[in-house]
């Protein structure tokens, strides 16, 4: 969800970490029940869209702290490590900026002005550079 994937298929196929479909389905149900996510109503033949709640957005500093610990103590893919390094280098202001952008995308908050690329674009660029690719907006 923090990678701005909002549909089941995107979460399943776009995950750098990799997850089995049955585990993803179970986790999404649990996160909705815990009010970390909401699941939009989907008409027949449409895909349900998941959104973070404010409680879900507030977990970002916790997830960042775990990722920062992992950067020091656990192995990981270059793409994931690059994203975490960027967050660490940019510090708490970046986490605040990312949370504000999540509120825009998931809760309908008014957009904020950015001087240069926004947090998602910077994360994508860091990940792409680590993978030896051009950022998504340049492909």
Tens of pLDDT, residues 23-52: 999 999 999 999 999 999 877 767 889 999
Task: State the average pLDDT over residues 3-14.
Answer: 86
- pTM across the whole model: 0.86
Distance (Å, rounded) from C-alpha 127 to C-alpha 71? Answer: 14
Classify each residue of 35-61 as buried b or exposed e, where b means 16 or more C-beta atoms within 10 Å of its C-beta.
ebbbeeeeeeeeeeebbbbeebbebbe
Task: State the average pLDDT over residues 79-90.
Answer: 92
Average pLDDT of every residue of the chain: 89
pLDDT band of 139, cuts 50, 70, 90: very low
Distance (Å, rounded) from C-alpha 119 to C-alpha 60? Answer: 13
Query: Which of 14-23, 30-39, 58-67 shows the lowest mean pLDDT across its residues?
Result: 14-23
Phi, psi of 110 (to 5 degrees): -65, 140
- Of all residues in the chain, the percent with pLDDT exceeding 90 is 63
């Amino acid at each position: 969800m923090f990678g701005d994937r909002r549909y089941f298929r995107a979460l399943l196929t776009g995950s750098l970490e990799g997850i089995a479909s049955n585990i993803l389905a179970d986790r999404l149900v649990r996160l909705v029940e815990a009010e970390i996510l909401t699941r939009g109503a989907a008409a027949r033949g449409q895909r349900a869209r998941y959104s973070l709640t404010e409680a879900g957005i507030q977990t970002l500093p916790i997830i960042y702290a775990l990722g920062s610990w992992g950067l020091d103590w656990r192995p990981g893919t270059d793409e994931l490590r690059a994203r975490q390094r960027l967050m660490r280098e940019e510090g708490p202001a970046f986490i605040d900026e990312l949370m504000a952008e999540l509120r825009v995308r998931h809760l309908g908050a008014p957009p904020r002005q950015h001087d240069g690329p926004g947090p998602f674009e910077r994360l994508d660029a860091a990940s792409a550079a680590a993978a030896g690719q051009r950022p998504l907006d340049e492909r």
